[in-house]
Structure 1
Amino acid sequence: MKRNVLRATDSTEELSRLIRQACLVAKDSAFNVREFVRDSSKMAYLAVKDCEKELDRIERDVDERMTSAITQVSEAQARELLACLKFIIDLERIGDLLWSAVKRLHEIRSAVSRNDTFDLLEMSSVLEQMLERIHQGFIERDLQNAHWVLRTDARIDQACAAVFRRHLEIGNRRHREHSTNLLFVAQAFERAGDHAKNLSEELVHLIEGRSVRHEQKRRQAQA
């Protein structure tokens, strides 16, 4: 019995370690996206690609370990394992979105205006900060970091909206393809921010055992 408890604890700790690693990889991806937006660095471009591959690998590793681990653990450990599973889904998706954004930027980089560059830098910088807070919050089981991420997602939404306003107003057909690409990039950042927000909601659930998302829906229904 004692051996089973130790094995279950080891499994939970290993999966938690993988999630901490994945948080750092996703944060590194956001950092390198920002560097690519700033100066079209080839090293940054390749780093984002590597981060996407690494997040895919970690997701596979988590999936493989989860099946055996979930049958051996206590209720509290099971809740942590389920949180790990939800975390890696969102983190892997963030990696996909950032890689897709960088590939589009690579095609149009020389034509990105100063205003667009400012908003893209804002989104990538904020996303990097959000992922750092998620990482710290997961390690320390800290609600303040989770709530900071919940509040800060609006900054990405605002920058994304600014890009959309600017390019939906462009009537010149010659620039339509360029604008479409930039809109896809902005939307990728906005969706990555949504996934980071999901992570903060899951962090609250892990720490307090309550669903922020369900509470928000209930308040909206009562309003």
Structure 2
Amino acid sequence: MPSTRQGFNLELEALRQEILAMGNMVMKSIDEAVLSLSTGDSALARKVMTGDDEIDAMEVDIEDKCMILIARQQPLARDLRILGTGLKITTDLERMGDHAYDIANITLKIHHEPLIKPLVDIPRMAQMGKDMLQNSLEAYLTLDVAMAEKVCQADDAVDDLYQQVVRELLTYMMEKPNTISQATQILFVARYLERIADHATNIAEWVIYLATGERLRKK
């Protein structure tokens, strides 16, 4: 029979694996949301939106388990950081899932229209954000501070690409007023992807805090 400490460690590991599983589900949701937009696949968009309920349920389950462990074990120092960062990371993952839902919802709004231009930078932004999320989760798994710091640095490239997308879409809207409605929706998509990268950065910052006990805030 495992000791109390061994049992607690097993519960912490199970919690970490559940957070990683939630992260993988969010990555898939982002990928499918952007694919639905690029291809006009309304069925895939609805699948993403339905799947958001499962992501939300995972957040609630992880939060409940964290709170039970805090109440039962009354952890201190590093153990408390593990549970606290778990709660924070889960919140960021849930919000990323919400943004995937929002992108899928935009697919349903515009899928019956031809795209005003082929989507190139939007999938690039999505891939950059997914890479950041994957790397932040890997850093969480291994407590790799260097990898987490690289995630934080990568956010600048996403911000630059976002600004480029905004400029291009505003130019379209000025030159071709009939594109304003759809261009506005794609602007929202770009904003959601920029926020996804921000949340991946948040996760990386929480990993650094978990590993070092020091808070790093992006400037």
TM-score (norm 2): 0.87
User: Between Structure 1 and Structure 2, how many residues are aligned?
Assistant: 213
CA contact (8 A) 2:166 2:187 kept: yes
Partner-residue secondary structure (3-state), 1:112: coil
Q: Which runs of 5+ in 2 are unaligned?
A: none
Alignment of 1:1-223 (within 5 A): 3-42=3-42, 44-71=44-71, 72=73, 73-109=75-111, 110-114=113-117, 117-169=119-171, 170-171=173-174, 172-213=176-217
Are the structure 2 counterparts of residues 176 and 114 from structure 1 closer, same or farther at C-alpha, using a change threshold of 3 Å?
A: closer
Partner-residue secondary structure (3-state), 1:211: coil
TM-score (norm 1): 0.85
Q: Which runs of 5+ in 1 are unaligned?
A: 218-223
Distance 1:147 1:187 in 2: 23
CA contact (8 A) 1:30 1:125 kept: no
CA contact (8 A) 1:28 1:51 kept: no
Kindly provide the amino acid, as one letter, of the partner of residue 206 in structure 2. E
Percentage identity across aligned positions? Answer: 23
RMSD (Å), alpha carbons: 2.1
CA contact (8 A) 1:51 1:95 kept: no
Cα shift readout 1:145-190 (whole Å, capped 9, x = no counterpart): 2122112122322222122112223234433222221111111111
Distance 1:98 1:157 in 2: 18
